[in-house]
């Protein structure tokens, strides 16, 4: 399977995180989020901290929070990741979801 995130070069940690989170299955479609191309960015912003941009399948996706939390939790279980920050993009409530998933900035 081709990666959903197009990078010229990913760090080893970014690649491990992407490989892990792409396996998550969207319960509404029963497809892996990697197959659905829902991950737009995986970037190590500083040692041990990764940012993940996630676009749900619909701007009103009712399970965007659930998926974002699962993405965060799976990423944080990858060896070398101390913290994962997940940004939901393209959802009508993205600001509220991002605060719920990541806490206030």
State pLDDT tens for residues 20-77. Answer: 999 999 998 999 999 999 999 999 999 999 999 999 999 999 999 999 999 999 999 9
| Contact predicate 53/4, CB 8 Å | no
Tell me the longest C-alpha to C-alpha distance in the chain.
35
Total-model pTM: 0.90
Q: Whole-angstrom Cα distance, residue 45 to residue 75?
A: 14
Q: 34: exposed, middle or buried (C-beta count within 10 Å: 0-12, 13-18, 19+)?
A: buried
Which residues contact residue 47 at a Cβ distance below 8 angstroms, ignoring those fewer than 6 apart? none
> Residue 4's pLDDT is what?
52
Domains and their CATH numbers in the chain: 12-102 (3.30.300.130)
């Amino acid at each position: 399977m081709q990666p959903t995130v197009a990078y010229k070069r990913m760090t080893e940690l970014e690649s491990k995180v992407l490989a892990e989170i792409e396996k998550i299955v969207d319960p509404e479609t029963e497809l892996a989020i990697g197959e659905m191309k829902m991950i737009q960015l995986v970037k190590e912003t500083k040692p041990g901290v990764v940012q993940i941009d996630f676009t749900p399948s619909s701007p009103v996706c009712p399970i965007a929070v659930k998926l974002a939390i699962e993405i965060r939790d799976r990423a944080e279980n990858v060896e070398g990741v101390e913290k994962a920050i997940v940004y939901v993009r393209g959802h009508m409530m993205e600001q509220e979801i991002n605060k719920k998933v990541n806490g206030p900035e």
